[in-house]
Structure 1
Amino acid sequence: MVYPERFSNLPAHAWPRLRALLDVHEGGGEPIHMTIGEPKHAFPAWVTDKITEHAAGFNSYPPNDGAPALKEAICGFVSRRYGVPLDAESQVMALNGTREGLYNAVMALCPETKAGGKPAILMPNPFYQVYMIASLSVAADPVMVPATTESGHLPDYHSLPDGILNRTTAAFICSPANPQGAVASYEYWRGLIELAEKYDFRIFADECYSEIYRNEAPVGALQVAHETGADPDRVVIFHSLSKRSNLPGLRSGFVASSAENITQIKQLRNYAGSPLPLPIQLASAAVWNDEEHVIENRAMYVEKYDIADRVLGNVPGYASPEAGFFLWLPVKSDEEAAVKLWRETGVRVLPGGYLAQDWNGENPGQGYIRAAMVAPKAETARGIELIRDCLYPQ
C-alpha cells in the first residue's frame, strides 16, 4: 500500500508525544491538568435551552454557509468589536470551529504556483499545527519564522529574503498569540498588510483568543485593513466560540473576508464541507449576540493573570501574558521540566518544543513550557504555586 509522501515526515502530534513522555512515570500528587487549552469556566446556562428550543432542526439538513440569524449575529459582533461593516450574505461563513476554516482557506485561496515555482506559506514558530498541515496539503513550503523574545513573540516576516516573499501566497498570524499571549499592535498589522500588498499574498488572521485580555481589547486585522483602505481580498479572519464563550464542544466559529474570498471558500464547502447542525447554528447566534457572559469570563482570567504575576513575577525571564490564557515559562529543558513537574507535583504541562519545529537547527519552543490557566481559580492558583516551588525555588 502506497501513502502520500507529503505527510510522511510529520513528527508525532503533541498529545501522543506528551502521553509517551509523562505516562511512564507516576504522578507526584493529585493531577492538575494545565496542558490543553480547553476552557473549564461555565458556558452560559441558556445555551442548552436554545439548542433544545430548536431541536426540531436536527431533522433537516442545515444551511451550508450558515443560517441567516447566525450570519447576522456574526456581522453584529464584528461591527461592535471592530467597527467593520460586513454583508451577512456574502462576507461571512459559519465554521465547524476555526481549525476547519484555517485548513480550508488554504485549500480554497492559495494558488498552486507563484513566481514560477513552489509557493511558500509563512507561519509563526511556535505555531498551531493546522497551519503546517494546510501548507503541506497544497504542496507549499511551510516557512516557520521564529516568534521569540527578540521579536516580541510575533514573527518578523519583514526579515525574510525576497526569494521567499516573492513565492509567498499566505501568512498566518495568531493574535493574541498561542502560546505566548503576545498581541499584534495596530502598527504590526499595518506593516504586515503593507508587506502583503507589496508581495501579493493573503493574511490569515487566527483571532480565536481575541476576547480574553487584560486591559485593552486587541486590535483586529480586518479592522486595520478597513481603516487603512487595504485591498479587501488581503485579509481573512477566523473566530470561534470555544475560548470566547467556553464552548469548545460546540465546534462553532466563523470566517470573514471579502466577498470574492468567501465565494471561493463557500465553493469548497459545497463539495467537501460539513455545515453545523441547525440547532447549533441558532444557539451560536444567541451566543454571538450576548456580551455579558464574555465580560464575566474575561474578569475571571484577569484574576488568574494577577495570580500568575504575584506567584511568578520574580522568576527570571517571566513574561506576564497580555492576552489569552497560557503561561509561556522559561526553563532549561522543556521535556525535563515537564517530567520533573509531573513526577514531583502531579502538574501536567506541555513542553514548548512540541509546539514548534526546528528552524536553522534550533527549536524556538524548547526553552519553554506552556501552562494553560483554564481550570477554576483555586486549582489554577495551586498549579502555578507548585510550578514555582518545583521549577523555580527561591
Structure 2
Amino acid sequence: MSTATGIGESAELSRDPIEPAPAQSRVAVQQGSARRRDPRDFHPFIRLNQLLADVPPGPSPGVDGRPINLSVGDPQIPPPAYVLEELSADLGAWGRYPPPRGTADYAEACVAYLERRYELPTGWLDPAQHILPLPGSREGLFFAALALATVAAEKEPDRNAVLLPSPGYHCYMGAAAVAGLAPVFVPASLETNFLPDLASLPAHTLGTSLLAYLCSPANPQGAALDVEGWRATLRLARACGFALLADECYGEVYLDAPPSGALQAALAEGGSLDGVLVFHSLSKRGSAAGLRCGFLAGDPALVDRIDACLRIGGAGVPVPVQRAGARLWRDTALPERTRAYYLDLFERAERILAGRYGYSRPAGGFFLWLDVGDGVAAARKLWAEAGLRVLPGAYMSGPADLPDNAGERYIRVALVYDGETTERALTRLVEVLGEEGGPQT
C-alpha cells in the first residue's frame, strides 16, 4: 500500500486476488453515478420535515401534550458543570483563531483516551502526527471525502466509489455527493447482522473504491464489529486500495461489552496506520453535542490532507472548547454514568417492546430500529395520532430514487429522554401501531 496516501500502489493488487462476489451474494449493490447531487436528497430531516409539513401533531403523551421528538439523537442529560468553567476561564482566548492542529494538551488527551479505551500501547500514537481536532466527528467525516477525492483526481481518476452502509449516517451520503464521488449503498440488513458485508461486493466495485465508511456501534441498528471483523475489513481495504474510515462516535455508549475499534485491528495487523482513520466525538460520550468537539486519528498522510481541507473550508476548534474537551476525554467516570442512563432506557424499552417490531437488544448506541412494515407510513401515523416524531428508515438508506431501499420497513427511535417520558412515548407508540405495526418475534 502506498504509505503516502493509503491508496494508489495497492490498486494493482485488487485486480487479481479479489474474486467477484458469487451470484447468490446477500449484497445487492446499488451504485450511484459519480456526479454531484443536491445534498437535500440525502438529508433525512429535511425529508422528514417535508413528509410531516401538512400533518398537524396529534395529542401527545409529552408534558402538557407537547410533541416528543424521537427522531434526533440529541442527548438530554447535561454535560458536567466543569465544561462551563473551562469555557469561561479565559475569555480572551475566544478572540483568537485556534491553532489548526490543536493544542498539545488536547492532542495528548485524545491519545491518552484512545490508549485507555482501546488498550493501545503507550507511544504508538504521536499526538503531533496522528491527531486532528474536529468541531465534532461529522465535520471530519465530511471533509475526509473531499480530501480523498483530490487523491483520486491526482492519481487514479477511475477510483471514485464510496462504500457506505445502508441505512447509515446521512453525512456519508452527503459527503460523497458533494465530492462528486459515486456512492455504493451496501445493505446492512437483518441478513447481514445489520453490518455491511463489504467482502461480498463485486471485484470491480472493490477495485474502484476510494474509501469506505463503517460505523460501529452502528447508527441506527446498534450492531458492532468484533476485533476480528475489523481486522478482516482492514485487510480487505488494504488489498483493494481503499481507505477505511471508522466512525466510532458511539464507542463509549454500549450496553454490555465495550466494542472493539479499528485501531486495535491496525495494531493486530502489524501496527501500520496506512489507510485507516478513526473518528470520535464528545457529543455522545460527554453529552456535549453543542460543544462541537471531537477528533480524528490515524494515517498521518491522510490526517495532513484533511487538515488542509479544513483550513480552507472548515472551522477550527476554539481553544476554550479544546480545554473543556481535554477534561472530558480524561474524565474516566463520565462514560459509566452515561452508559447507566442509556441502559436504564433500554431496559424500559425492552419491557414494552419485547416480541414486537423485531426488537432486539443492540450492542451499543441509543436507537431503536423497529420493523413496522412501512416506515414512512408509520412516521406519519405516529405524528398525526400521537405527536411522536420518529425517523423513517428509508430516509437513512439513500435518496428517494434508490431501488430496493434497505430501511423502508423500519423507523428509528432515539432513546434520549428520561425514563418516564420514554415509557409514555413507547407505550403510546405501541397503542398507535398495534400488533399490525410489525412482525412478531
- Cα deviation for residue 8 of structure 1 reads 4.3
Contact 1:114 / 1:169 at 8 angstroms: preserved in 2? no
Structure 1 pair 245–9 and aligned structure 2 pair: CA distance change class (3 A) = closer
Contact 1:118 / 1:141 at 8 angstroms: preserved in 2? no
Q: Please, which of 55, 72, 82 is the counterpart of residue 25 of structure 1? A: 55
Equivalent-residue separation in structure 2 for 1:121 and 1:303 (angstroms): 37
Q: Please, which of 420, 424, 430 is the counterpart of residue 382 of structure 1? A: 424
After TM superposition, list the pairs within 5 Å mapping 1:11-22 onto structure 2: 11=41, 13-22=43-52
Q: Please, which of 339, 342, 357 is the counterpart of residue 298 of structure 1? A: 339
Kindly indicate whether residue 109 of structure 2 is the aligned counterpart of residue 95 of structure 1: no
Specify the alignment match of 2:62 in structure 1: none
Structure 1 pair 221–9 and aligned structure 2 pair: CA distance change class (3 A) = closer
Of 24-33 and 321-330, deviating more is 24-33
Of 97-106 and 152-161, deviating more is 97-106
Equivalent-residue separation in structure 1 for 2:209 and 2:293 (angstroms): 30
Matched residue type, 2:89: E
Of 240-249 and 76-85, deviating more is 76-85
- Cα deviation for residue 230 of structure 1 reads 5.3
Q: Please, which of 237, 262, 268 is the counterpart of residue 227 of structure 1? A: 268
After TM superposition, list the pairs within 5 Å mapping 1:240-389 onto structure 2: 240-357=281-398, 361-389=403-431
Q: CA RMSD in A?
A: 2.0
- Cα deviation for residue 55 of structure 1 reads 2.1
Q: Please, which of 72, 75, 88 is the counterpart of residue 52 of structure 1? A: 88
After TM superposition, list the pairs within 5 Å mapping 1:137-156 onto structure 2: 137-156=178-197
Equivalent-residue separation in structure 1 for 2:403 and 2:161 (angstroms): 20
Equivalent-residue separation in structure 2 for 1:20 and 1:139 (angstroms): 26
Of 374-383 and 158-167, deviating more is 374-383
Equivalent-residue separation in structure 1 for 2:159 and 2:383 (angstroms): 44
1:11-38 Cα deviation digits (max 9, x unpaired): 2632232122224223222311101111
TM-score by length of 2: 0.84
Matched residue type, 1:47: V
Specify the alignment match of 2:116 in structure 1: 80
Contact 1:214 / 1:323 at 8 angstroms: preserved in 2? yes
Structure 1 pair 215–125 and aligned structure 2 pair: CA distance change class (3 A) = same
Of 97-106 and 210-219, deviating more is 97-106
After TM superposition, list the pairs within 5 Å mapping 1:189-228 onto structure 2: 189-228=230-269
Contact 1:112 / 1:138 at 8 angstroms: preserved in 2? no
Secondary structure in 2 matching 1:90: helix
Equivalent-residue separation in structure 1 for 2:326 and 2:238 (angstroms): 34
Specify the alignment match of 1:107 in structure 2: 146
Secondary structure in 2 matching 1:283: helix
Matched residue type, 1:16: I
Contact 2:39 / 2:177 at 8 angstroms: preserved in 1? no
- Cα deviation for residue 382 of structure 1 reads 1.3
Q: Where does structure 2 lack aligned partners over 5 or more consecutive residues?
A: 1-33, 60-65, 437-441
- Cα deviation for residue 116 of structure 1 reads 6.2
Matched residue type, 1:314: G
- Cα deviation for residue 220 of structure 1 reads 0.4
1:45-93 Cα deviation digits (max 9, x unpaired): 1110111112221122211111111111101100100122311111101
1:204-226 Cα deviation digits (max 9, x unpaired): 00111111110101100111111
Equivalent-residue separation in structure 2 for 1:237 and 1:117 (angstroms): 25
1:327-373 Cα deviation digits (max 9, x unpaired): 00001211111111122222111111111126972111110011000
Secondary structure in 1 matching 2:128: coil
Equivalent-residue separation in structure 1 for 2:421 and 2:435 (angstroms): 20
TM-score by length of 1: 0.94
Equivalent-residue separation in structure 2 for 1:336 and 1:301 (angstroms): 28
Structure 1 pair 267–369 and aligned structure 2 pair: CA distance change class (3 A) = same
Taking only the aligned residue pairs, the percentage that are identical comes to 38
Contact 2:189 / 2:406 at 8 angstroms: preserved in 1? yes
Equivalent-residue separation in structure 2 for 1:279 and 1:164 (angstroms): 44
Equivalent-residue separation in structure 1 for 2:79 and 2:383 (angstroms): 29
User: How many residue pairs end up in the alignment?
Assistant: 391
Kindly indicate whether residue 158 of structure 2 is the aligned counterpart of residue 128 of structure 1: no
Contact 1:40 / 1:375 at 8 angstroms: preserved in 2? yes
Q: Where does structure 1 lack aligned partners over 5 or more consecutive residues?
A: none
Q: Please, which of 408, 420, 434 is the counterpart of residue 392 of structure 1? A: 434
- Cα deviation for residue 113 of structure 1 reads 7.1
Moved over 6 A (4+): 113-116
- Cα deviation for residue 159 of structure 1 reads 0.7
Of 56-65 and 21-30, deviating more is 21-30
Contact 1:146 / 1:155 at 8 angstroms: preserved in 2? yes
- Cα deviation for residue 179 of structure 1 reads 0.6
Structure 1 pair 28–138 and aligned structure 2 pair: CA distance change class (3 A) = closer
1:160-191 Cα deviation digits (max 9, x unpaired): 11111110111100111111111112221111
Equivalent-residue separation in structure 2 for 1:175 and 1:253 (angstroms): 16
Equivalent-residue separation in structure 2 for 1:138 and 1:33 (angstroms): 32
Matched residue type, 1:57: A
Contact 1:27 / 1:342 at 8 angstroms: preserved in 2? yes
Matched residue type, 2:142: Y
Equivalent-residue separation in structure 1 for 2:186 and 2:300 (angstroms): 30
Equivalent-residue separation in structure 2 for 1:377 and 1:10 (angstroms): 34
Contact 1:54 / 1:282 at 8 angstroms: preserved in 2? no
Matched residue type, 1:107: L
- Cα deviation for residue 231 of structure 1 reads 3.5
Matched residue type, 2:56: E
Structure 1 pair 116–72 and aligned structure 2 pair: CA distance change class (3 A) = closer
Of 217-226 and 21-30, deviating more is 21-30
